[in-house]
Structure 1
Amino acid sequence: MKSFALSLLLCTLVLPAAPTLARQAPPMPPAISPEQMQQAINRVKEADSNHDGMITRVEWQTYRTAQFSHFDRNGDGVLSEADRPRLAGRRNGGRLAEMMALLDQNHDGQVSRAEFVNGPMPAFDQADLDHNGVVDGYEIKQAETRLP
Structure 2
Amino acid sequence: MKRHMLLFAMAGTAIVLSSPALAQQRDPGQLLVRADANGDGRVTREEYTASKARLFDRLDRNSDGVLDQSDGGRGGLLRRRSGDKLRQLIDAIDEDGDGRVERNEFVYGRALVFDLADTDRNGVVDREEMAEFRRLAEERRRQR
Same fold (TM over 0.5): yes
Distance in 1 of aligned mates of 2:90 and 2:12: 14
* Residues 55, 134 of structure 1: 8 Å contact kept: yes
- Give 1 or 2 for the bigger CA radius of gyration: 1
TM-superposed deviation, 1:80: 1.2
Larger RCO of the pair (alpha carbons < 8 Å, separation 6+): 2
**1:105-144 counterparts in 2 under 5 A?**
105-144=95-134
* Residues 53, 136 of structure 1: 8 Å contact kept: yes
TM-superposed deviation, 1:97: 2.2
Whose helix fraction is larger, Structure 1's or Structure 2's? 2
AA aligned opposite 1:58: E
Distance in 2 of aligned mates of 1:54 and 1:42: 13
Q: What runs of 5+ residues in structure 2 fail to find an aligned partner?
A: 1-8, 17-21
Tell me, yes or no, if structure 1 residue 57 matches structure 2 residue 41. no
Q: What runs of 5+ residues in structure 1 fail to find an aligned partner?
A: 1-27
**1:1-148 counterparts in 2 under 5 A?**
29=10, 32=13, 36=23, 38-83=26-71, 86-89=76-79, 92-146=82-136, 147=138, 148=142
Q: Which moved more, 1:48-57 or 1:68-77?
A: 68-77
Q: Which moved more, 1:56-65 or 1:70-79?
A: 70-79
TM-superposed deviation, 1:132: 1.9
TM-score when scaled to structure 1? 0.68
Distance 1:39 1:100, change over 3 A: farther
TM-superposed deviation, 1:134: 1.1
Root-mean-square deviation (CA), in Å? 2.7
TM-score when scaled to structure 2? 0.70
AA aligned opposite 1:102: A
Percentage of pairs with the same residue? 35
